[in-house]
Structure 1
Amino acid sequence: MLRFDDLQLFVRTAELGNLSAAARHLDISPAVASAGLKRLELQLQVRLFSRSTRSLRLTPEGELFLGHARLALQSLEDGRQQLAGSKVGISGLLQLSAPSDFGRNTLLPWLDEFQQVHPQLQLRLLLGDRVADLFREPVDIALRYGAPEDSSLVALPVAAANRRVLCAAPDYLQRHTAPETIEALAEHNCLLYMLAGRGHDRWSFSDGKREQHISVKGDRVSDDADVVRRWAVSGAGLVYKSWLDVAGDVRAGRLKVLLPEWRGEPAPLNLICAHRAQLSKPVLLLREFVQTRCTELLAHAPWPH
């Protein structure tokens, strides 16, 4: 096992070009420094420096190992700083955009819990299904379903395994026979979500071997995903939504999953920002927090795993 102090001595000696100077910088004796360097060379079974009475220079093997040693020391320092930082609370303003339904009915109580853990943090929450312009609007990060169309944006996965599910309220199912096939959806009132003026009226399913697509229709369309969910809960028709949006309704009995043997289309949830510089400690902590909660919901997802 390579010793941290030996790696530190090697890097400092390479930078200063002098073993005695490196020893003084590290506040150790020249004899201890010489022994440490010999120990490192013995463990690596190579000579790291070519020595003469007046000079000390890296060998080709030493040049090769220097980069690895620097990376190892930097990784250890990063870990130390993260541990030190975890002991200090986070503060400041975090501006977040989220989809209307997921934001109101799933994310909101999670944010309450997150702020209880970090009471010095201020949140500004913008809800809406239109994709926020992260370069122009007062938003640090956004939670969005699907990959961003703009490839210059940074996207970190939060719930990569999430999918859409087909649901209906018990009240609707008392008045209508539950569909037993994908084709039977054409006989039902399907509640449609509209984005950018286009209704999402083509629903896709897979059983692991084949895919089925069906065009559906209904008497209600909205550009607010939360409104569509509320219509479904009231018994107005079938709905095809992200599992993260309806998991709470299914668990409470307000909605029932239909055709669970079919997987709905993927609906991965990502954290999106304009620049990696925006991945601050509050942002990364929030992502980890939301990711954990999403994993708990996905553990009870109805589709075959």
Structure 2
Amino acid sequence: MLRLDDLQVFICTADSGSLSAAARRLECSPAVASAALKRLEGQLQVRLLARSTRSLRLTAEGEQFLGHARAALRALEEGRQALEGGRAGIGGVLHLSAPSDFGRNVLLPWLDAFQRDHPRLTLRLHLGDRVADLFRQPVDIALRYGEPEDSSLVALPLAPGNRRVLCAAPAYLAAHDAPQRVDDLAAHNCLLYVLGERVHDRWRFAQGRRSQEVTVKGDRVSDDADAVRRWAVAGHGLSYKSWLDVAGDVTAGRLALLLADHQGEAAPLNLICAHRAQLSPPVRVLHAFLRARCAELLAKAPWPA
């Protein structure tokens, strides 16, 4: 029968890429960690890690088994939380990944409120615009714009009706004529960000049944969407971003909406996890909480409900 501590050593070693680092993290000696790995490989009768004096990497069998090992430990942790959670409410540790702009400027205060209601819950928040690998990284759930490319992932909608909007700061509009048509964007400095490993410089709009795409350019590009929003607020150009990201700036007057008679492209926000088994009570409660907060922002959106 497989030992839980052996699985922990294997997962920690795979995450850190070092047996000695895993031993330090688990507060055991390298010899004990090495013995755990050998014992696990002996029981499975496969080589999980290819080790040399200078490097350590997962074998093909190790890659395959890693996801199962993670799922097994998660399932046991969820069972432990369920047993002790009854009267005490939602608790445990939840690893959450979110986009940089939405995470910093919208999600953080929401999570503060959520943890006030559930003080036994510990959140570990990972912010960034690169899509987290839910099978390999230590992340339980991810908030991501757009539909997941991997159909095996579980996606729960948070803001299915969200869209991108075109906006600029009053300072920029004081120095430049506001665009009246989509074609006018070619004459403006457009603030760009990397989306899906490429610069998102093709902006799409719809007006009634007519759709239009324009290729834009600008003097600022970032792989962090929060930087693009900050550039826009500072008056450096036009931005084409999720309504959820800029709703607060529009309401406060820091940004003004442009081409209001055109509809921006869809940008649905989803809560994503690798397996339905990960839809634990904390995840389900958090999903309902975030969906309600997103609905409040979407109620203020410039397009018809």
Same fold (TM over 0.5): yes
- For the 8 Å contact 1:91–1:120, the answer to whether it is kept is yes
Task: For residues 15-46 of structure 1, give each alpha carbon's deviation from its aligned partner in whole angstroms, at most 9, with x where no partner exists.
Answer: xxxxxxxxxxxxxxxxxxxxxxxxxxxxxxxx
Name the amino acid aligned to 2:141.
I
2:303 corresponds to which residue? 303
1:107 and 1:290 mapped to 2: Cα distance?
Answer: 9
- Comparing 195-204 with 157-166, which one deviates more in the overlay? 195-204
Go from structure 1 to structure 2 and tell me whether the alpha carbon gap of 1:196 and 1:157 turns closer, same or farther (over 3 Å shift). Answer: closer
Partner of 1:123: 123
State the distance in 1 between where 2:240 and 2:266 align.
12
Q: TM-score, normalised by structure 2?
A: 0.71
Instruction: Tell me the amino acid that sits aligned with residue 280 of structure 2.
Output: S
Q: CA deviation at 1:87?
A: 6.5
Q: Map 1:1-305 to 2 at 5 A.
A: 88-305=88-305
1:304 deviation in Å?
Answer: 3.6
Cα distance in 1 for residues equivalent to 2:140 and 2:175:
46
Question: 2 CA distance for matches of 1:87 and 1:177?
Answer: 60
When structure 1 is superposed on structure 2, of 98-107 and 202-211 the one drifting more is 202-211
- Equivalent-residue separation in structure 2 for 1:115 and 1:86 (angstroms): 18
Q: Tell me, yes or no, if the aligned pair for 1:263 and 1:304 is still in contact at 8 Å.
A: no
Percent pairwise identity = 71
What amino acid does structure 1 have at the position aligned with 2:248?
G
Q: SS at the partner of 1:250? A: helix
- Which residue identity is paired with 1:160? P
Q: Distance in 2 between matches of 1:204 and 1:86?
A: 49
Gaps of 5+ in 2: 1-84
Runs of 4+ in 1 over 3 A off after TM superposition: 85-88
CA distance in 1, matches of 2:152, 2:114: 29
Q: RMSD of the TM alignment (CA)?
A: 1.4
Q: Which amino acid aligns with 1:202?
A: R
* Offset at residue 206 of structure 1 (A): 0.7
Q: CA deviation at 1:191?
A: 0.3
| d(CA) in 1 for partners of 2:214, 2:195 | 19
The residue type paired with residue 277 of structure 1 is A
Q: Deviations over 1:201-225 (max 9, x none)?
A: 0000012311011010000000000
SS of corresponding position for 1:123 = strand
Partner Cα separation in structure 1 for residue 282 and residue 216 of structure 2: 42
Counterpart for residue 26 of structure 1: none
1:247 to 1:86, Cα distance in 2 relative to 1, 3 A: farther
Structure 1 runs not aligned, ≥5 long: 1-84
Question: SS at the partner of 1:114?
Answer: helix
Q: Quote the Cα distance in structure 2 between the aligned partners of 1:304 and 1:184.
A: 25
Q: 1:86 to 1:146 in 2, by over 3 A?
A: farther
Partner amino acid for 2:166? Answer: L
Q: Distance in 2 between matches of 1:172 and 1:189?
A: 10
Aligned partners of 2:232 and 2:113: how far apart in 1? 28
Alpha-carbon offset, residue 196 of structure 1: 4.7
**CA shift for structure 1 position 273:** 0.2
Are the counterparts in 2 of residues 190 and 217 from structure 1 also a CA contact under 8 Å?
yes
Deviation at 1:86, TM superposition (A): 8.4
Structure number, greater radius of gyration? 1
SS of equivalent residue, structure 1 residue 122: strand
Tell me the amino acid that sits aligned with residue 241 of structure 1.
K
Following the alignment from structure 2 to structure 1, what is the Cα–Cα distance between the partners of residues 141 and 196? 21
